[in-house]
Amino acid sequence: MVQKIIIDTDPGQDDAVAILLALASPELQVLGLVAVAGNVPLALTELNTRKVVELSGRTDVPVFAGCDRPLSRDLVTAEHVHGKTGLDGIDLPEPTLPLQAQHGVDFIVETLRAHDAGTVTLVPIGPLTNIAEAFRRAPDIIGRVQQIVLMGGAYFEVGNITPAAEFNIYVDPEAAAEVFASGVPLVVMPLDVTHKALTDRAWIEAMRALPGRCGPAVAGWTDFFERFDTAKYGSVGAPLHDPCTIAWLLHPDLFEGRHINVEIEVDGRWTTGMTVADWWRVSGRAPNALFLKDVDRDALFDMIHDRIARLP
């Protein structure tokens, strides 16, 4: 059964690998990609999304631009991680793939109304602004979403943009709070698991050696992306945060976690954007998310390699 998905994204090198993985996988029907402001401003995330789709050869997949800022806060970006273009590591040509005229949030609403209820999965891998805005504009679609598989949050791994918060949640905590309270089934890929999804030199070189253009692009992106985490954490390798969402859709058995309650802090003096994950189930609050913690790292990277190898 082909899984229909919409990817909401802020490329970002790891977003780019996630997009290629999805477009290389026949188990997934990517109905569209919606760019959101996050790692870099929207003008760059939509351009980067079109560059990646064109690189993959899948120019049948439409790209939309969504919100250019969080619901109620100023935008915080992450050029220090992703470079000034947001996709540093390899120079890609200006895309010929057009940006769709329709606002990305309206595309999300229209698509969920057009498809049978419970058949479309949302895969947000940036701030949750577009998802929350779609739910605000059209509350009728909330019950139609099959599930949300998102990259965001942290608990045991704590924050990467503040001591308490992970970037995607921190940028728009109000949006995250509304999505986590929506009642839609959630699968959450926090730093707890994505920091275990680290590239290594052999894998990057195997990417670089792939025939075609996509493998070398992944090598260039992960080489660039790695330097931030190596400098910050002393880790060897780049964490492939966003591809973990797509990998879960393809092989959920590679991951382990718990169905628990997760609340979003929006008023903390020091903790705004924190995902308060009740891992030990002490709060009595109802579970609202499958919160992942472990991954079979080698099987994950073998799968990503084999899928990227299918692309031009």
Q: Among Ca ion, ligand RIB, none, what binds residue 167 when CB lies within 5 to 8 Å by partner kind?
A: ligand RIB
46's contact among Ca ion, ligand RIB, none, with CB below 5 to 8 A by partner kind, is none
Give the footprint of ligand RIB on this chain (CB under 6 A). 10, 12, 14-15, 38-39, 125-126, 151, 160, 166-168, 241-242
13 or 288: CB nearest Ca ion: 13
Q: CB nearer to ligand RIB: give 9 or 100.
A: 9
How many DSSP H helices and E strands does the chain contain?
A: 12, 10
Interaction of residue 289 with Ca ion, rule CB under 5 A: no
CA nearest neighbour of 16 among 154, 216, 306, 231 = 216
Which residues are CB-contacts of 31 (< 8 A; sequence separation ≥ 6)? 4, 5, 6, 111, 115, 120
- Two structure tokens written together for 300: 């994950």
Residues 6+ apart with CB under 8 A from 244: 151, 189, 193, 194, 197, 255, 292, 295, 300
The site map against Ca ion for 232-251 (x = CB under 5 A) is: ----------x---------
Q: Give dist(CA 79, CA 141) in Å, integer.
A: 34
The catalytically annotated residue of 80, 103, 115, 241 is 241
Q: Report the partner that residue 133 touches, choosing among ligand RIB, Ca ion, none (CB closer than 5 to 8 A by kind).
A: none
Please tell me the distance from the alpha carbon of residue 12 to that of residue 245, in angstroms, as a whole number: 15
Q: Closer to ligand RIB by CB, 141 or 217: give it.
A: 217
Q: What dihedral angle (degrees, nearest 10) is formed by the CA atoms of 291, 293, 298, 302?
A: 10
Residues 6+ apart with CB under 8 A from 194: 151, 239, 240, 241, 244
Q: Is 241 a catalytic residue?
A: yes
Q: Does 87 bind Ca ion (CB under 5 A)?
A: no
Q: Return the residue of 125, 145, 184, 262 that touches Ca ion, per CB under 5 A.
A: 125
Instruction: Name the minimum Å distance from CB 165 to ligand RIB.
Output: 9
Structural contact between residues 157 and 192, judged by C-beta atoms closer than 8 angstroms: yes
Nearer Cβ to ligand RIB (133/157): 157
Which span sits near Ca ion by CB under 5 A: 2-10, 95-103, 139-147, 152-160?
2-10
Give the nearer residue to ligand RIB in terms of CB position, either 241 or 307.
Answer: 241
Three-class secondary structure of residue 166 per DSSP: coil
* Residues near Ca ion (CB under 5 A): 10, 12, 15, 125-126, 242
Catalytic residues: 241
